[in-house]
Structure 1
Amino acid sequence: MLWFSVIASALAPGLALLTYFYLKDRYEQEPLKMVAKVFLLGFLIVVPVMIIQRGFTDGFGGNLYVNSFIISSLVEEFLKWFVLYNIMFHHSEFDEPYDGIVYAVAISLGFATVENVMYAWYSHASIGTMFLRALLPVSGHAMFGVMMGYYLGRARFSKGAASKRYLAYSLVIPWFWHGVYDLILSSMTQYWLWFIIPLMAFLWYGGMGKVTRANNRSPFRFLKREEEINT
């Protein structure tokens, strides 16, 4: 019964956060089937991430900055970005800027959920530990997904140099903040909470601002207003 509670606590944060950001789509919510598909793709990329990270660790591991910014954050964010770009970026369902956030959060939380379940299973974690992980790694992956998705949305509905610039931002910005997050956790043993809590507050504040701005750029915004006026 205790193990069931721990595994449930590992699954719940990712599903709850995905539901939260899905419902934040004000104007044209995505098909649940597509969101579930991308969420499951997050499950699948865990295996290549682990293989690549193991290879990099054997060859280049040992340096905190390399571990944080290359082996951990770059590998994870690049594979999430690569899958999203090749599967969803030109998809017909990606028809408003906020869709980038929905799909990027879905793949990020799919990855984070598997990571969380594996941690709970292999470390025999307590409910208290899983609650802390919900507030930090799972929540962190959601925020990195918001950043990636926001700029993918900007790139999808921009042209020329602006589109390419936003596409680069969609990888570089979540990679950087993910690296900062990992560096704090790996380099500090006593005072890490003094740094990680302000960082998470900053990421959530910026992330929710991006949610609002992405919704405000929806081409369906004015159509919905007209429907509300007519009814």
Structure 2
Amino acid sequence: MFAICSAGLAPAIALLSYFYLKDRVTEPIPLIIRTFISGALLVFPIMFIQYVLTSEAMINNNFIHSFFFGAFFEEFFKWFIFMFAIFRHPEFNNHYDGIVYAVSISLGFASLENVLYLITNGIEYAFLRAFFPVSSHALFGVIMGFYLGKAKHMHSRKKWNMFRAFLIPFLLHGIYNYILLTVTSNWIFYIIPFMIFLWYVALHRAKVANQAVSIKK
């Protein structure tokens, strides 16, 4: 069990540390821990909702399962936790902070989801899970946090940026799910280019947010 928990948590902690250390003005560790735990606690209500919907709706449609039973609820609840716990918090005081806190929430969710998956399916999946599901949650978090930071600190098109903070991760997450559900062979040739694209977009957003912090200082 210790090995599974370590393998499940390690990639999330590594990714969170990476984005945390890129922050020019580091955030308080207790608040990072609280947002991480909040993200992890989302796993249980989301799993319950998804179980009820998939068992009751009896809809055998990959598009609906990918975008609405999966991506919609996961990204909406992560967005909601951010809006409820962080958006008006005094420590959320520059653009890049949005990325740090959104990644923390996303990786809290991804870490517990990953541990539960490894308990059920075996530790041999840890390597692939680190590179794909866990990393993708972090990157969706970067994009969400970028637009929430923009909504809070750029003072232009606030509501539109708050909406984009949910919409863009939801669409990207849905595409990711749809690839995995519909491509039954050679899926790696589809998912790797998609992950490269996600990394490019996320790192570019992180760079822009950090530059905004420098200009503000």
Query: What residue in structure 2 maps to residue 210 of structure 1?
Result: 205
Query: What residue in structure 2 maps to residue 144 of structure 1?
Result: 140
Query: What residue in structure 2 maps to residue 56 of structure 1?
Result: 53
Kindly indicate whether residue 30 of structure 2 is the aligned counterpart of residue 33 of structure 1. yes
Matched residues in 1 for 2:121 and 2:67: separation? 25
What are the residue-to-residue correspondences of 1:7-26 with 2, within 5 Å?
A: 7-26=5-24
Matched residues in 2 for 1:30 and 1:96: separation? 10
Matched residues in 2 for 1:59 and 1:216: separation? 48
Q: Secondary structure at the match of 1:217?
A: helix
Query: What residue in structure 2 maps to residue 135 of structure 1?
Result: 131
Q: TM-score, normalised by structure 2?
A: 0.96
How far off is 1:222 after superposition?
A: 5.8
Q: Which amino acid aligns with 2:135?
A: S
The unaligned stretches of length 5 or more in structure 2 are: none
Matched residues in 1 for 2:113 and 2:23: separation? 26
Residue 120 (structure 2) aligned to one of 116, 119, 122: 122
Kindly indicate whether residue 66 of structure 2 is the aligned counterpart of residue 68 of structure 1. yes
Kindly indicate whether residue 163 of structure 2 is the aligned counterpart of residue 165 of structure 1. no
4+ aligned runs moved over 4 Å, structure 1: none
Residue 44 (structure 1) aligned to one of 34, 41, 45: 41
How many aligned positions are there?
216
Tell me if structure 1 keeps the 8 A contact 2:147–2:162: yes
How far off is 1:86 after superposition?
A: 1.1
Matched residues in 2 for 1:124 and 1:212: separation? 37
Deviations 1:155-199 (A, max 9, x none): 111336x00110010000000000000000011111211110000
Query: What residue in structure 1 maps to residue 185 of structure 2?
Result: 190
How far off is 1:59 after superposition?
A: 3.3
How far off is 1:221 after superposition?
A: 4.8
The unaligned stretches of length 5 or more in structure 1 are: 224-231
Tell me if structure 1 keeps the 8 A contact 2:7–2:123: no
Matched residues in 1 for 2:31 and 2:143: separation? 20
Matched residues in 2 for 1:65 and 1:103: separation? 30
Query: What residue in structure 2 maps to residue 91 of structure 1?
Result: 89
How far off is 1:94 after superposition?
A: 0.3
Query: What residue in structure 2 maps to residue 229 of structure 1?
Result: none
Q: Secondary structure at the match of 1:30?
A: coil
Greater Cα radius of gyration, structure 1 or 2 = 1
Tell me if structure 1 keeps the 8 A contact 2:12–2:134: yes
The RMSD of aligned alpha carbons is 1.3
What are the residue-to-residue correspondences of 1:98-117 with 2, within 5 Å?
A: 98-117=96-115
Residue 199 (structure 1) aligned to one of 182, 194, 199: 194
Q: TM-score, normalised by structure 1?
A: 0.90
Kindly indicate whether residue 181 of structure 2 is the aligned counterpart of residue 181 of structure 1. no
Tell me if structure 1 keeps the 8 A contact 2:98–2:149: yes
